[in-house]
């Protein structure tokens, strides 16, 4: 004898009605960011060399990355609203820390 179980209720939200879904075209931009240790406190400072004047900070590197993403999104929204061209810097390819030794 096969026993059927009643359908389980899901905690997931119901799927949206396909006729009501509004799709928005998105354009993606790529930016290099630099994160530096704040000189006088425990946090970090971030900026993009491609977007002068756009910067943010945070207590942790993860906070700083999240904050600079939001700052860049807001910066781009303002630039696009004012019909400005969004710069894309293809020259900056790689950033890394380099240690060198010199005689004392």
The predicted structure's pLDDT at residue 57: 95
pLDDT band at 6 (very low <50, low <70, confident <90, very high): low
- Strand 55-58: give its sheet, edge to edge: 34-37, 44-47, 55-58
d(CA 72, CA 41): 23
pLDDT digits (tens, 9 = 90+) for 34-75: 999 998 889 999 999 889 899 999 999 999 999 999 999 999
Q: How many residues does the chain have?
A: 104
CATH code of the domain occupying 30-81? 3.30.160.250
The predicted structure's pLDDT at residue 7: 60
Domain spans of the chain, in order of start: 30-81
- Examine the pLDDT at 33 and tell me if it is beyond 60: yes
């Amino acid at each position: 004898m096969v026993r059927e179980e009643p359908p389980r209720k899901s905690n997931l939200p119901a799927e949206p009605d396909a006729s009501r879904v509004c799709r928005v075209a998105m354009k993606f931009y790529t930016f290099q960011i630099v994160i530096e240790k704040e000189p006088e406190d425990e946090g970090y400072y971030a900026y993009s060399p491609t977007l002068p004047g756009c910067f943010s900070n945070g207590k942790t590197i993860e906070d700083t990355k999240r904050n600079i993403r939001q700052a860049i999104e807001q910066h781009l929204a303002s630039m696009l609203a004012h019909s400005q061209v969004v710069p894309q810097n293809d020259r900056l390819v790689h950033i890394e820390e380099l240690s060198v030794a010199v005689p004392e």
